[in-house]
Amino acid sequence: MTSDITTLTASLSCPALTSEAEIAPYLTDASQAAAGRPLAVFLPRTTADVSTILRFASTHQLPVSVRGAGTGLAGGAAAYEGGLVISTEAMTELSIDADARLADVQPGVLTATLDAAAQAQGLFFAPDPASAATSTVGGNIATNAGGLRCLAHGVTADSVAALEVVLASGEVIQTGARTIKNVAGLNLTPLFVGSEGTLGVITRATVRLKPLPEGAPYTFAAYYNSLEEAGGAVLALTSSGLNLESLELIDRTIVQLINKHHGAGLTEPGAGLLIGLCTSAQADAARAATICAEHGASSTETAEGLALMEARRLVFSSIYPEGFTVLGDAGVPVPQLPHFIRRIQEISEATGRAVLITAHAGDGNLHPSVYAGAHGEETEAAEEVLALISAAALELGGTITGEHGIGSAKLHALEEQLTPATLAAGRVIKAALDPAGILTPGRGL
């Protein structure tokens, strides 16, 4: 196989990384999922190279993992033993069509880079995962990433107009269109959005941009002595008619840990802190703070600027060093949020295991972090607690994953949410597009 890889590499315009030192950064993702030792890691710059690599992998029946920046939290990008890795990090072409409010990108463009380029032309890219500075647009599309601005702008799928995808056979297809309206043929774009590297490699995307709002953003903060009560205020806020861009919940311990690890100087709440962003509308922020005060907040404040929202991005880097490494991603319908918070607290008490809560509260998407021991030695017990939490989300009409995806980490739980017939339908599509089963096998669906 080594000589075949050498022949393959000779036909590409990109090198193959094969030494231990070279491939080490490409083995796993932010979930630290187990990975195998791949034969080679490729950093293609062109669609043609991706196509050649996939044709080779199909011919030789080699498993392929696809990798953006590796910030994924489900193990989807982890390398396979004896497989190939396609990293998109060198695919960074980007152009903005300001008149059409579209951007054309290769998949390795960082989310924040795209947003900054759009902002330079008075536009912005709405998808805004907390990892925006380090994750790729291709990874966001492949995971249908959510994030902080979904309340106003939806998830990544809502910003994708068209895709170029290389199928497992090496064949290149185009989905969608650059128009606002398009109903030609089956709508294949959403099939690839959120497909986690299992159906094809996204090699180009046309994404929608929005006009930058005028004026300064305003944030509000509401301090609660009960997390459940904070959850109740979320419904009052989301049904108030206010134009909220983000609405996030952070529990007291996480606020303390953000202060400890990042010196953020946040005011500590009795139980939890609800923070929201109103785009350029001081009056909206004040009205939101009033609604929170009417719904149990012990105190509230408003501020110009994004400092509070930036603090929200520090959650994971503040809790992981403390051993809270088993991370959930469940979602529930917003009216169920207070019940879900109560259920998580009951599960924590019944199992005697600490669970921290942060949430994209306006979307009903919670990230419970379960204590897994100072060095992760209690991971199995923590996983059991997370399974109880996921089950509670399903009982409340929710989902086991709102935005991080299934990957390898949550594959075992997928059958708890989807019926056998639904699972089978997904696998029929997978088999049709990747008959040799080489693309991200055994993960995602």
Ligand X SMILES: Cc1cc2nc3c(=O)[nH]c(=O)nc-3n(C[C@H](O)[C@H](O)[C@H](O)COP(=O)(O)OP(=O)(O)OC[C@H]3O[C@@H](n4cnc5c(N)ncnc54)[C@H](O)[C@@H]3O)c2cc1C
- Total of chain residues touching ligand X, rule CB under 6 A: 37
C-alpha dist (Å) from residue 226 to 12, 306, 351: 59, 25, 21
Q: Are 103 and 116 in contact (CB under 8 A)?
A: no
Q: Which of 33, 53, 64, 69 binds ligand X (CB under 6 A)?
A: 69
CA distance 150 to 368: 19
**From 132-140, 251-259, 334-342, 347-355, span contacting ligand X (CB under 6 A):** 132-140
Q: Which of 38, 129, 232, 398 binds ligand X (CB under 6 A)?
A: 129
Q: Which is nearer to ligand X, 201 or 372 (CB)?
A: 201
What is the nearest approach in angstroms of ligand X to the Cβ of residue 146? 4
Could you count the other beta carbons within 10 Å of the beta carbon of residue 186?
8
Q: Which of 28, 52, 113, 136 binds ligand X (CB under 6 A)?
A: 136
Q: Which of 5, 43, 109, 202 binds ligand X (CB under 6 A)?
A: 202
Q: Are 71 and 135 in contact (CB under 8 A)?
A: yes
Q: Which 3-state string (H, E, C) describes 222-256?
A: EEECCHHHHHHHHHHHHCCCCCEEEEEEEEHHHHH
What is the nearest approach in angstroms of ligand X to the Cβ of residue 218? 21
Q: Are 58 and 169 in contact (CB under 8 A)?
A: yes
What is the nearest approach in angstroms of ligand X to the Cβ of residue 108? 8
Q: Chain-centre distance of CA 73, in angstroms?
A: 8
Q: Which is nearer to ligand X, 75 or 232 (CB)?
A: 75
Q: Does 142 bind ligand X (CB under 6 A)?
A: yes
User: What is the DSSP secondary-structure string of 284-317?
Assistant: HHHHHHHHHHHTT-SEEEEEESSHHHHHHTTHHH
Closest CA to 121 of 138, 137, 99: 99
DSSP code of residue 362: G
Q: Does 311 bind ligand X (CB under 6 A)?
A: no
Q: Which of 316, 324, 340, 371 binds ligand X (CB under 6 A)?
A: 316
**From 60-68, 224-232, 349-357, 375-383, span contacting ligand X (CB under 6 A):** 60-68
Residues 74-103 that bind ligand X (CB under 6 A): 76-77, 88
Q: Which is nearer to ligand X, 83 or 139 (CB)?
A: 139
**From 15-23, 33-41, 139-147, 256-264, span contacting ligand X (CB under 6 A):** 139-147
User: What is the DSSP secondary-structure string of 326-354?
Assistant: EE-B-B--GGGHHHHHHHHHHHHHHHT--
**From 41-49, 142-150, 339-347, 349-357, span contacting ligand X (CB under 6 A):** 142-150
Q: Does 364 bind ligand X (CB under 6 A)?
A: no
Q: Does 44 bind ligand X (CB under 6 A)?
A: no
Exposed, middle or buried, 99 (CB in 10 Å: 0-12/13-18/19+)? exposed
Binding site residues, ligand X, CB under 6 A: 29-30, 65-73, 76-77, 88, 107, 129-131, 135-136, 138-140, 142-143, 145-147, 196-197, 201-202, 316, 403-404, 407, 440
